[in-house]
Amino acid sequence: MVSSVRILMCPPHHYDVDYVINPWMEGNINRSSRERAEEQWNTLHQVLKRYATVDLIEPQIGWPDMVFTANAGLVLEKTVVLSRFFHPERQGEEPHFQKWFEDQGYTVHTLPKSLPFEGAGDALLDRSGRWLWAGYGFRSELDSHPYLAKWLDVEVLSLRLVDPRFYHLDTCFCPLSDGYLLYYPAAFDTYSNHLIEQRVPAEKRIPIDEVDAINFACNTVNVDRIVVMNQASPSLKQALETHGFTIVETPLTEFLKAGGAAKCLTLRVTEPRQGEPHSSSIQSRVVQLEGHLLDSGLVNRALDTVVSGGGSFQVLNFDLGEQRQDASTADIKISAPETGVMADIMSQLVDLGAVSLPQETSSAQLERVVQDGVAPDDFYVSTIYPTEVLVKDQWIRVQAQRMDGAIAITHENSGPVARCKILRDLKAGEEVVVGSDGIHTLRSETSFKSKQTDEFSFMGAGVSSERRVELVVEQIAWDLRQIRDRGGKAVVTAGPVVIHTGGSEHLTHLIRQGYVQGLLGGNAIAVHDIEQSMMGTSLGVDMKRGTSVHGGHRHHLKAINTIRRCGSIANAVEEGVLTSGVMYECVKNNVPFSLAGSIRDDGPLPDTKMNLIEAQEDYARLIEGADLILMLSTMLHSIGVGNMTPAGVKMVCVDINPAVVTKLSDRGSIESIGVVTDVGLFLSLLVNQLNKLTGQYAQH
Ligand code: ARG
């Protein structure tokens, strides 16, 4: 019985493996037999004619992969999105397929030139037409998915392919009749597997193993309950039969050499639209994104966020520029299987700068704090990015922007005021923003670009090369001088390693020369600095000779004890007990410092704040209004400072451990620069460069 299904095929008269554009083709150039290919293709053709009407397109000399008509485009009803091949080796097929579709009366959509999408090879409709599964990662770009959603008016579920052998979605994924799914889970990333599991109930999923996968078992043509494929293992046959499918095997080994099989050799050109795209349990929201969406990678990130969070999207309006780098606006409908998933996705999208649309005229949702120091469950967690909230029809800028806070709203005479507050400062009765409506984070284009460009160039290989360090040093020296000369503020966060690595003389120089307006650290940096100043050792190691001093391990305690006797570091300086070093220079030059805590029971110094809350407040006060923060080899103090600092403050993190540097640059803002190097060396380069800039060459 021939159903109403029509399939497009292309005879293999000019088929061969002429180049390598996927792992299957490697070692197979000119290795396929034309005769056997014709024979296998004819058999497939005959088989398919039993179940469908087969149309043929004229093969073209010079385009050997044109047999794989799945890659012609993606059809839904009378609309087709034409493929844009990733590899030039196949791009010449495009006009031939375009002509065929036009001749058949299809509405043909073509994607922007630089946006690859490989048709039904990478996009498969759910067999009940509920949504479109779209693959990306190798041949098609995620950015192409919004176009599919828009032009075909269908919900798109994006799946990321991760195994180069399964470079097209149809090599590892095959939706079957009645909601069944034949697929190879290992070809997808975790999130995609998650999405698949959310949409297809366990009893409808037919996962296959690697052996079947490499025999292209997923590359199956399915018409009703018939599945036509190259080959299936006995266990797969059994699984399919149990679910009521009849298997027709037809060897396609010659085409496997080019990385394709039954499904690749066909394109279903009748895809009726069936039913409503959304089932009722699915939630949806509309958000708007604005800016250089494609060029900045923002769309990619936003869609990635949606997909990786278990949701899906449909593009309602995409006001595209002509070029990828043009500014554009997108209204995106986000769908999620349930409320929790939606809430998570929405808050992440808001952090990326998206605005929730239907709420544009309604205010941010507020809820009262019931218990001091505890926010309502659903409170919006603030980021380092400038944020606005919609209160009483008015977008107001949040003050004291910082990360990990709640946004509290107060109503003053001048109108509502929004302010970031840390949890412990919340008071019962106070109103706090919950959910993600009426919140807008202002992300600059550059804050996205940094990820791909700057950070990459500084830390590309994890460790900065010497020349790179020099370049960064030049830039920081320049900034420091500018900041000093215009009366700005540079703050240094330093760990004890600064002293161990011989950085003390350089840091003291910076302080003396007026480059430092605040110093943050813990007990240790001050202790080691004072030990070095009083006894010439740092943790008992002679700083000139680099060797341990007999009994030196007691030195740091003696240093602490001496300062304790004086009552404070400042007193010690005044009494002439402390006469040099970093802390001495701070006191002498009126540079405020804050020493936050110590878990070590070795003192502490009288200046060390053992109450961490007070210490945090002290830190926050010293950071306020900073233009630049130089973080020198102290992971915890740097991360703490990073969290307290709003976007826009330049941060330079120097550490020998790349993990620390990466952690800080995770802020993703252009302002953070990571330098993986020895901090003593870094400081000496910095001082040298500053001296060069000011015409005083180093004397040593
Ligand atoms: N050699 C072709 C390519 O690499 C094979 C295409 C297979 N088609 C498919 N829909 N999986 O593009």
Return d(Cα 458, Cα 665) in angstroms, integer.
Answer: 11
User: DSSP 3-state assignment of 127?
Assistant: coil
H helices of 352-453, in order, are: 445-452
Last residue of a domain, one of 389, 411, 445: 445
* Statement to judge: residues 489 and 638 lie in one domain: yes
pLDDT number for residue 100: 98
Q: Is the CB of 126 under 6 A from ligand 1?
A: no
Ligand 1 atom index nearest CA of 119? 10
- Which residues, in sequence order, are bridge partners of residue 671? none
Contacts of 406 (CB under 8 A, 6+ apart): 375, 379, 380, 381, 382, 420, 421, 422, 423, 426, 432, 433
Confidence class of residue 521 from pLDDT cuts 50, 70 and 90? Answer: very high
Which of 472, 522, 516, 518 lies closest to 681, judged by CA? 472
Q: Is the CB of 121 under 6 A from ligand 1?
A: yes
pLDDT number for residue 392: 85
**56-65, 137-146, 218-227, 501-510: least confident range:** 137-146
* Statement to judge: residues 207 and 302 lie in one domain: no
Return d(Cα 641, Cα 575) in angstroms, integer.
Answer: 33
Confidence class of residue 664 from pLDDT cuts 50, 70 and 90? Answer: confident
* Statement to judge: residues 184 and 97 lie in one domain: yes
Confidence class of residue 141 from pLDDT cuts 50, 70 and 90? Answer: confident
Note the residue count of the chain.
700
Which of 77, 116, 118, 73 lies closest to 97, judged by CA? 73
Model pLDDT for residues 374-414, shown as the tens digit of each residue: 999 889 988 888 898 988 878 899 998 888 899 999 999 98
Return d(Cα 342, Cα 360) in angstroms, integer.
Answer: 18
Ligand 1 atom index nearest CA of 259? 5
The residue type found at 654 is: V
Ligand 1 atom index nearest CA of 89? 12
pLDDT number for residue 8: 98
Check pLDDT > 70 for residue 445: no
Which of 94, 97, 98, 129 lies closest to 115, judged by CA? 94
Report the nearest-CA residue for atom 6 of ligand 1.
260
Count the domains in the chain.
3
Return d(Cα 192, Cα 475) in angstroms, integer.
Answer: 42
Q: Is the CB of 259 under 6 A from ligand 1?
A: yes
Report the nearest-CA residue for atom 1 of ligand 1.
258
Confidence class of residue 536 from pLDDT cuts 50, 70 and 90? Answer: confident
Which of 666, 623, 662 lies closest to 641, judged by CA? 623
Instruction: Calculate how far, in angstroms, residue 68's C-alpha sits from the geometric centre of ligand 1.
Output: 6
Instruction: State the burial class of residue 427 (Cβ atoms within 10 Å of its Cβ: 0-12, 13-18, 19+).
Output: exposed
- Which segments of 495-587 are extended strands (E)? 518-521, 537-538, 541-542
Instruction: Calculate how far, in angstroms, residue 302's C-alpha sits from the geometric centre of ligand 1.
Output: 29
Q: Is the CB of 118 under 6 A from ligand 1?
A: no
Tell me if 553 sits within 8 A of 527, measured CB to CB. no
In-domain check, residue 76: yes
Check pLDDT > 90 for residue 543: no
The pair of structure tokens assigned to 17 is 């493996």
* Statement to judge: residues 312 and 375 lie in one domain: yes
Return d(Cα 571, Cα 559) in angstroms, integer.
Answer: 14
Instruction: Calculate how far, in angstroms, residue 88's C-alpha sits from the geometric centre of ligand 1.
Output: 13
Model pLDDT for residues 84-103, shown as the tens digit of each residue: 999 999 999 999 999 999 99
In-domain check, residue 699: no
Return d(Cα 371, Cα 366) in angstroms, integer.
Answer: 15
The pair of structure tokens assigned to 235 is 């266990």
Instruction: State the burial class of residue 641 (Cβ atoms within 10 Å of its Cβ: 0-12, 13-18, 19+).
Output: buried
Return d(Cα 698, Cα 601) in angstroms, integer.
Answer: 40
Q: Is the CB of 22 under 6 A from ligand 1?
A: yes
Which of 488, 502, 458 lies closest to 673, judged by CA? 458
pLDDT number for residue 208: 96
- Across 78-92, 304-318, 365-379, 437-451, the highest mean pLDDT is recorded for 78-92
Return d(Cα 192, Cα 307) in angstroms, integer.
Answer: 8
Return d(Cα 7, Cα 46) in angstroms, integer.
Answer: 12
DSSP code, position 609: B
Residue 318: CATH number of its domain: 2.40.420.10
Tell me the DSSP string of 156-182.
Answer: EEEEEB--GGG-SGGGTEEE-GGG-EE
Q: Is the CB of 70 under 6 A from ligand 1?
A: yes
pLDDT number for residue 281: 44
User: What is the average pLDDT across 354-379?
Assistant: 81
Confidence class of residue 449 from pLDDT cuts 50, 70 and 90? Answer: very low
* Statement to judge: residues 236 and 200 lie in one domain: yes
Confidence class of residue 433 from pLDDT cuts 50, 70 and 90? Answer: very high
User: What is the average pLDDT across 176-199?
Assistant: 92
User: What is the average pLDDT across 471-492?
Assistant: 92
User: What is the average pLDDT across 151-177?
Assistant: 93
* Statement to judge: residues 334 and 438 lie in one domain: yes
Mean of the per-residue pLDDT values of the chain: 87
**200-204, 466-470, 573-577: least confident range:** 466-470
Q: Is the CB of 85 under 6 A from ligand 1?
A: no
In this structure, how many other beta carbons lie within 10 angstroms of the beta carbon of residue 95?
A: 11
Model pLDDT for residues 240-271, shown as the tens digit of each residue: 999 999 999 999 999 999 999 999 999 999 98
* Statement to judge: residues 176 and 259 lie in one domain: yes
pLDDT number for residue 452: 38
pLDDT number for residue 554: 82
Q: Phi-psi region for residue 487, left (φ > 0), alpha (ψ -120 to 50) or beta?
A: left
377 phi, psi to nearest 5 deg: -45, -45
Q: Chain centroid to CA 680: how far?
A: 33
Q: Is the CB of 168 under 6 A from ligand 1?
A: yes
Confidence class of residue 272 from pLDDT cuts 50, 70 and 90? Answer: confident
Which of 673, 679, 623, 624 lies closest to 652, judged by CA? 673
pLDDT number for residue 279: 40
Cα 373–376–382 angle (5° rounding)? 80
The pair of structure tokens assigned to 501 is 């690595």
588 phi, psi to nearest 5 deg: -65, -35
Q: Is the CB of 258 under 6 A from ligand 1?
A: yes
* Statement to judge: residues 582 and 654 lie in one domain: yes
The Cβ-side half-sphere exposure at 542, using a 13 Å CA radius, reads 8
In-domain check, residue 277: no
Return d(Cα 23, Cα 491) in angstroms, integer.
Answer: 53
Ligand 1 atom index nearest CA of 17? 1
Domain that holds residue 538: 455-694
Q: Tell me which of 8, 18, 20, 22 to substitute to probe ligand 1's pocket, judged by most ligand atoms within 8 Å of the beta carbon.
A: 22
Return d(Cα 193, Cα 463) in angstroms, integer.
Answer: 34
The pair of structure tokens assigned to 19 is 């180049």
Ligand 1 atom index nearest CA of 167? 11
The pair of structure tokens assigned to 668 is 């993703």
Residue 516: CATH number of its domain: 3.40.50.10690
Q: Is the CB of 285 under 6 A from ligand 1?
A: no
* Statement to judge: residues 430 and 468 lie in one domain: no
Last residue of a domain, one of 445, 472, 490: 445
Ligand 1 atom index nearest CA of 71? 10
In-domain check, residue 61: yes
Last residue of a domain, one of 212, 240, 268: 268
Residue 119: CATH number of its domain: 3.75.10.10
Return d(Cα 218, Cα 121) in angstroms, integer.
Answer: 12
Check pLDDT > 80 for residue 608: yes
User: What is the average pLDDT across 118-142?
Assistant: 92
The pTM is what? 0.54
Instruction: State the burial class of residue 262 (Cβ atoms within 10 Å of its Cβ: 0-12, 13-18, 19+).
Output: buried
In-domain check, residue 154: yes
* Statement to judge: residues 241 and 330 lie in one domain: no
Active site residues per annotation: 168, 264
User: DSSP 3-state assignment of 255?
Assistant: helix
Peptide bond before 604: cis, by omega within 30 degrees of 0?
yes
- Across 131-145, 430-444, 650-664, the highest mean pLDDT is recorded for 131-145
Instruction: Calculate how far, in angstroms, residue 267's C-alpha sits from the geometric centre of ligand 1.
Output: 12
The pair of structure tokens assigned to 423 is 């949890």
pLDDT number for residue 480: 94
pLDDT number for residue 448: 53
Q: Is the CB of 585 under 6 A from ligand 1?
A: no
H helices of 219-297, in order, are: 234-242, 253-256
In-domain check, residue 274: no
In-domain check, residue 420: yes
Q: Tell me which of 9, 24, 71, 89 to substitute to probe ligand 1's pocket, judged by most ligand atoms within 8 Å of the beta carbon.
A: 71
User: DSSP 3-state assignment of 213?
Assistant: helix
Which of 13, 19, 62, 59 lies closest to 34, judged by CA? 13
Confidence class of residue 472 from pLDDT cuts 50, 70 and 90? Answer: confident
Instruction: Calculate how far, in angstroms, residue 104's C-alpha sits from the geometric centre of ligand 1.
Output: 24
Question: To the nearest whole percent, how much of the chain has pLDDT over 90?
Answer: 56
In-domain check, residue 700: no
* Statement to judge: residues 140 and 240 lie in one domain: yes
**301-305, 315-319, 340-344: least confident range:** 315-319
Check pLDDT > 60 for residue 282: no
Starting at the earlier edge strand, list the strands of the sheet with 593-595.
Answer: 593-595, 518-521, 490-494, 628-632, 650-655, 672-676
Return d(Cα 693, Cα 680) in angstroms, integer.
Answer: 20
pLDDT number for residue 286: 84
Tell me if 389 sits within 8 A of 409, measured CB to CB. yes
User: What is the average pLDDT across 645-649?
Assistant: 84
* Statement to judge: residues 247 and 299 lie in one domain: no
